[in-house]
């Protein structure tokens, strides 16, 4: 199958490599910045263009990968759908719930398949945690804490600094963890969020959200673009039979089981060797879905639900009040 990459910087380059690893042929690279499109096209012997809409309609394209800034996702998803192409859309699905619904309607009308790149569902560490939860290793979960932090992303023309486009760390980064919470623990009931929400952030951003899930579970999610260097992820899940913690600075996953006396030895579960990038795994899942071999782990409706949660977080941060979901 042939693929068009729409948005050739950053994530576009990364997804082009993942798609190529899966055997897809990159035939056109489109970006509004000609040098960026040309540079990626040269790597794969593809055509380059600044006409992104035209690239989605090429007859030799089977799949369109949308890896542009968030507010433009809807435009290219709809264009690709109307051209009968299957679509990989980087998260977030859209900048608003309304945008997502508009794109989803176009996809359903066209009868094509849309995959939203919520890659956290494919990270081996997080899948290992989910397996422990499903297996009842910590009993009934009651509290979850998730932390995701790194440097402030720049992007072409610094678009991440514009909250109207990126939504800041609460929308663009924390959405990973919001999606994972719903994936593992079910539907959310309400969310309360505090965030910097500066109009012109000076390369720093921070947000903290507290969620109550319909199951009764309480979750705290922290997102930051304020670290001086590197990237770090932490997770803690507490249940009525024990807890486990994960820190990306440490390995492997550690599970502490509570005995009858309330204490217990620590168990180290060796991490599985990572033979493929989680980003490649999501592409494999998407292609398997296209070929009719399986259902994708992420549905378009999941992408919409994650945006709804992120929008609610921003609304809560703005109003200072909890938002019911």
| CA-wise closest residue to 187 among 44, 309, 287 | 309
- State the pTM of this model: 0.90
DSSP 271-287: PPP--S-HHHHHHHHHH
3-state secondary structure of 217: coil
Distance (Å, whole) CA 196 – CA 203: 12
pLDDT in tens, 110-150: 999 999 999 999 999 999 999 999 999 999 999 999 999 98
Residue 298: how many CA atoms within 13 Å on its side-chain side? 32
Query: Rounded to a whole number, what is the largest CA-CA distance in the chain?
Result: 67
Confidence of residue 250 (pLDDT cuts 50, 70, 90): confident
Query: What is the C-alpha separation between 224 and 148, in angstroms, rounded?
Result: 6
- Domains of the chain (ranges, CATH numbers): 2-117 (3.40.50.720), 120-274+304-324 (3.30.360.10)
Beta-carbon contacts of residue 48 (< 8 Å; ≥ 6 apart): 28, 29, 30, 31, 34, 37, 38, 40, 41, 42
For residue 261, is pLDDT > 50?
A: no
Q: Is 261 buried (19+), middle (13-18) or exposed (0-12) by CB count in 10 A?
A: exposed
């Amino acid at each position: 199958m042939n693929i068009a990459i729409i948005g050739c910087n950053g994530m576009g380059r990364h997804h082009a490599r993942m798609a190529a690893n899966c055997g897809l042929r990159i035939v056109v690279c489109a970006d509004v910045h000609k040098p960026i499109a040309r540079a990626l096209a040269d790597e794969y012997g593809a055509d380059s263009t600044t006409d992104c809409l035209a690239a989605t309609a090429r007859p030799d394209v089977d799949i369109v990968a949308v890896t542009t800034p968030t507010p433009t996702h809807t435009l290219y998803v709809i264009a690709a759908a109307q051209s009968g192409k299957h679509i990989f859309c980087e998260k977030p699905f859209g900048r608003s719930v309304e945008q997502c619904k508009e794109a989803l309607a176009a996809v359903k009308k066209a009868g094509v398949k849309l995959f939203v790149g919520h890659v956290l569902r494919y990270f081996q560490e997080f899948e290992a945690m989910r397996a422990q939860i499903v297996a009842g290793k910590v009993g009934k979960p009651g509290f979850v804490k998730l932390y995701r932090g790194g440097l402030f992303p720049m992007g072409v023309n610094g678009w991440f600094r514009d909250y109207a486009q990126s939504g800041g760390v609460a929308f663009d980064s924390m959405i990973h963890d919001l999606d994972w919470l719903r994936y593992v623990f079910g539907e959310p009931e309400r969310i309360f969020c505090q965030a910097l929400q500066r109009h012109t952030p000076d390369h720093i951003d921070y947000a903290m959200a507290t969620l109550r899930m319909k199951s009764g579970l309480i979750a705290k999610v922290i997102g930051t673009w304020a670290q001086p260097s590197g990237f770090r992820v932490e997770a803690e899940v507490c249940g009525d039979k024990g807890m486990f913690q994960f820190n990306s600075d440490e390995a492997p996953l550690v599970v502490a089981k509570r005995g009858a006396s309330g204490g217990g030895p620590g168990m180290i579960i060796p991490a599985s060797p990572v033979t493929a990038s989680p980003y490649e795994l999501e592409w494999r899942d998407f292609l398997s879905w296209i070929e009719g071999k399986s259902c994708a782990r992420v549905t378009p409706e999941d992408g919409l639900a994650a945006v709804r949660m992120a929008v609610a977080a921003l609304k809560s941060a703005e109003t200072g009040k909890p938002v019911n979901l």
